[in-house]
Structure 1
Amino acid sequence: MNSKKSLLPLVLSVALAGGLVSCSQNKTIEENLNDAQIYLQQNKTGEAIISLKNILKEDANNIEARFLLGKSYINQGNWVVAEKELNRAKKYNYDSNLVYPLLAEAFSHLEDSSGIELLLNDVVDNNSLEQSVRYFLAVTYVYEEAEIKALSEFDTVVSLGEDTAYGQLGQAWLYGIRKQFDKGAEIANKLIESELYSAISLELLAKTYFSAKKMELAAKSFKAYLQLRSQDHQNRLMYAIALAEFFSFDEAEIQADFIMEISPNNVIANQIKAQARFAANDFKEAKKFAENAIKGPGAQAVSYIVAGVSAYQLNQLEVAHTHLMSIKDSLSYQHPARKLLIQIRFQLGYSDENFNDLSNAPNNDLDTLLLSESAQELFKIGKINEAENLIDKANKIEPENARIIYRQGVLKLLNKDDSAIEFFKLALKKNPELDAASLILAMELAEDKKYNEAFDVANELQNRNPQLAFSLIGAIYNHQGKLAESKKAFNRVLALNEKHIGAIYNLGIIAQQENDLDSAVTYYQQILDINPQHLLSIKALLTLSRDKALQEKIKQDFENRLATTQSEPATIALTEYYLIQQDYSKAKSIAMVALKSHLQVSSC
């Protein structure tokens, strides 16, 4: 069971303990000593320290005050100053049965095994004292990642008396090291009620849960421990980590802030701050703290991930790329950050590098969604062969995946490969509800004049997706030149959805084919009422505006839309209309008004 070697003790300045000496109010040494003992019994450690320092101000060699001061610092978790004071008490030959266990505990938290080993030389004839000192030596070996030494020492601790408190604590550690966390936690829980060992037991319990990845329980135990030893910032850091692990970022950030007041550049504290700010969607601050963490030694992958993803959210693609590339090889292809990196690299023009990376990666490391999306990106920039290569790779991973088979068909179609139609049929065989495959298959069959087969595909959709079914039927009839039947089908679509733009647009096309241009204009205008940015309808109206009989109707419509919305599509439409009519003055006037309006908005 490892308590995180990377979490080096946060060495506190002796000055933290300064400023505690108050006016003695003319109390005698005996009165101050009595006050200190009462304060310690009441867990008022700060007040006890003031009384003890008042004693030492008058009598620097007062051995009782020196020992109690060291004990007080132990109670705070202020290990640096505790070790100094307890060593002085030891030098003055204070009772070894009292000073050695506390001094060993201070050495342990400072990860100073050599200091504890020296203490052992003095206690070889005292089994009880040897057991306590060896216990802390074993714990220190755990901190130093010397597991074999730790196991040997814990075995010795237990052999010196398995029923004693230290014997039970040693057994709990042995259970933890052997991954028997529940047994270790059970022992630690029983000892918590013991006043003498409550802090030691709480710390052990917290670290047992931490090693078992039971972070919510670990956090609960660390919180209770820190109520006893508020200045143990090494364990406060572990408390913050545990909180962050189960996404209690508000409290984790409070702990990180506390640590950063003492150690602003602490890597883990900055990392936790970054995670907390990221969880709050404060990407600017998250990036700042994550980059602070990265500057320090031993930065973890999560800091690079938060820095990279935050930079991406801030549209700093090159920065995001730099951070995520730093840990690329440590991330699996399934990791969201690795997938984001691939996406960013496509955006930055590293398509060939992405393709080589993905095509050479073992199939077991990849998933079909990543390959499919990457193939789509390659297809967008005209790298059809590379896209097909990745889709074929995806098919080998999931040969029964209908969507992958469908995408193979699309790429075959783009490469004018006659086998494409078989891929669409196979995709529908694997998944009859794949409408995209039905759509392309029906149109390809119609293109090949296999109308009966095309109608069969369309009719199979009627129960599940009647709008698509009748749209396909209308398109197939149109391809046959049966315009009346085509119109009936598209009107059936509108009976189901009166705002179906595809059906209205096709009715406009049919109206043009029948030379019913006035109706065609009405259809296209109807589409613009639904979607003012439908460019195909705007283009169709501009083409029809060349007909003098339609010019006024189209111009009036464009003018009304511009007056109502002042939108960019309406501006472009009317400007293009006047350019077609070769009325350049009006075209320029409309463009200038739009430009002036744009500049005014931009300056706000």
Structure 2
Amino acid sequence: MKNHRPARYTVAILLAAALLAGCAENPETLVNSAKSYLAKNEPKAAVIQLRNALQQEPDYAEARYLLGITLLGQRDWVTAEKELRRAHELGFSEEQVLPPLARAMVRLGKGRDLVNEYGTRQLRDPAAQARFKTAIGDAWLQQANLDEADRAYAEALQAQPGYGAAVAGQARVLMARGDVEAAEQRIQATLEREPDNVDVLMLKAELLAAQDRHAEAEQLYARVVALEPDNQEARRAQIAVLISDKRYPRAAELIEAAQKEGGHDPQLEYLKGLLALREGRYRDAIEHAEQVLRVAPEHVPSLLVAGSAHLQLGAYVRAEEALRKVVDRLPRHQGARQMLVNAQLRMGQADRALDTLEPLLYQAKDNPKVLALAGEAYLANNDIKRAGEYFERAARLDKNDPAVRARLGQVHFARGEEEEAIEALEEASAADQSDYRADLLLVLNYIRAQNYDKAAEALQTLEQKQPQNPLTHNLKGVLYVAQKKPEAGRASFEKALGFDPYYYPALLNLARLDIRDRKPAEARKRFEAPLAKKPGDEKLLLGYASILSATGADRAEVLRVIERAVEHNPASATAHVALINYYRRTEDRQGAIAAAHNALAKVPNSTAVLDAAGQALLAGGETQQAISTFQKLVNAAPGSPAGYLRLAQAYGVEKNADAALQALRKAVALRPDLEQAHNQIVGILLATNRAEEALAEARKLQKSQPDNGLGWALEGDVHNTQQKWADAERGYREALKRTPSSTAVFIKLHRVLDQSGQTAAGRTLADQWIKSHPNDLVARNYLAERELRSRDYAAAIAHYKVILSAEPHNAIALNNMAWAAAQQNDPKAVEYAQKAYDIAPTNPAIMDTLGTLLVDRGDVARGLPLLEQAVKLAPDAAAIRMNYAKALIKAGKGQAAKAELQNLVNHENAQVKSEAESLLKTL
């Protein structure tokens, strides 16, 4: 024991001496030592000296700066940012510290923070300004703000002409705008002057990789590495392109070699995650991505890897969280948006999926995969008509695989080519036993064509492929209801719920059957039980609200349910839009405005929220705020004309015709065939007494789109407003030659013939139209209403019968049918009115019809309360008040009738006033 003690003392003395020796070096000496190590390219030794200096003097600004740029060179972005920020806080020169700090923030995916904190700074030193503004441009590019990125790169080049990184940045902007040719020209021109410009070589490699020329790209990255052996960015890019080229073993070799070099590198961790994802090792991919996200929560590539892997593993909530962040930061990223839509569909969030999908329908309107995805989203949302439309468009663009053949079958059905449709869909069904889309389309089209036997056969095949899918049994229920077998339909809907008790379409269909059977309490219970277990489920809450509204629930009760949906789902655009729209439907402008402001605060980037909120603000008189909101809608969906159409609407309210026209012309630039915009342009020109300009606009459209009847229809509109009936008729007839199925043009032509006194020609036109378009329900509805006004009740009834055979739950058609039948003394009039009331029990016009017919039949006890309620719901409707007064007279309530009639005596309508005076004389 004694022999060892002196040795221990010796060690202690030596350690103390070493510590004292370290302390003998002051911070300045240590920093100078670090500088000499950096000059000799020994960064690890420099880091040790700098940390020793900071241990003695934590506020040594230059040491913080040197440590930051050294760690930046070692790709330790997180610690580099921390040290550089601290150097900046300690007052170190912005000229020196801001360029590397900006670079670190960009590398960490903090582009948004960078531009918010430092975006407006200007540096005096040209080289520093060039590097700094290039990083600012990169930050804007991360956010897909191409204009600001281009502006920042231009500032960098103004400070230092020919600066390679800025030239590369401008080329990236050109690529993002789709002008690849211009980008290539700029890259080539720079390389001819500077063949070893590393930044531009890197961009050229990136462009080659984007064109799937992976081998050439990899060679260029290798050349950069040969020029700059320490260029870790080129090494990482080389790994990435090897992964894209599916050369996984070689990529793994380079990753392993890079790991041996040491240093904490989030980018390398991301590449390991990407490689794991491509090799199908999804859990490993998530683990690597999460390691990056712990230090850089906004690193978009890692979020994308995590979201993709979670989606593959069926962890849809986690996938949605990650992919939503990607889409919020990169709204134009089509792949991320498609995956997000898929995640939302698998979570049963069809409404959210549609909202997410909307920008894609403009960005990638010719992409059959996107169009098919839209079809799936509308199908999941129970909108069979819109689903069919998108499948048809997809079929026109892709005719190879079984799924596309299935969509092609939908196109044939739409054209009435039933044999070709069946052949295409049956081929698709037989070609892939796992894909049931063709079977779905067969069922949907047979139901739409009312060929129920064939639909049942197709459903048998679908059930063989998808026996436990609630969608199968829900469709079977829809078929039974269409066949007027409601009890069988009810059983199928119940079976769908057996597989998924929260399957929304089946719940909704069952509730609708309950309402039809006059069982409003049962309809409500359908949703109450699932909501007890899922109290915050957005779809269930909004479905419940719709059923409450349909069954005449108190407005406050409906509002409470929608507000619950918003409270439980504060980030849901669908819930906020539902609340805004309900306030608008119930004419509560202040409520709609408050809901709009709340929605904009909670979900500021949703196109659906921006649209609904803007409309609420506009209707509430907050025009300037509405314009600002619609401008944000334009920015959120730059490829969509919807924002410009809304802007035009708002400028119209402001009576700013020129601004409205400018917005509409931008919409037309995006969609040259957009009828709504062309119609509004001509409408504004006519409203502002610029008929010659309107006519020129119409004729310009005739030249640019000679096969489109719209230009001629617009010319007809111009002549129509000037009461030049012959010219208007000629324009509309020319339009019909080019678009022979345009109901809108038919109606315009029919009205012109009527206004010009050509009654017989109008009748001939109507007969010809109905003969060639027997299922045109819009035209039939227009003609039926005209027949009602002309008191040709038999003709009106004939049209309504056809409408109701196709749309048996059309409450307005049933209501009008009831009125026309009553004028014909048809005893079924009350039955039609009752059906209309069962479907829409809160519609005052329908309550008025049923109430009046019941009173006329002598059933005052049932009819009078309906009329009283109708008056409360529509107090300004003179016709309803008149019918109520007549009913009061029949009920022997003369004083109450007298009070109603005295209010009507002062009405501005002479006919109402005269009838009220006549009735008062009888009391």
TM-score where L is the length of structure 2: 0.35
Instruction: Work out which of the two has the higher radius of gyration on C-alpha atoms and give 1 or 2.
Output: 1
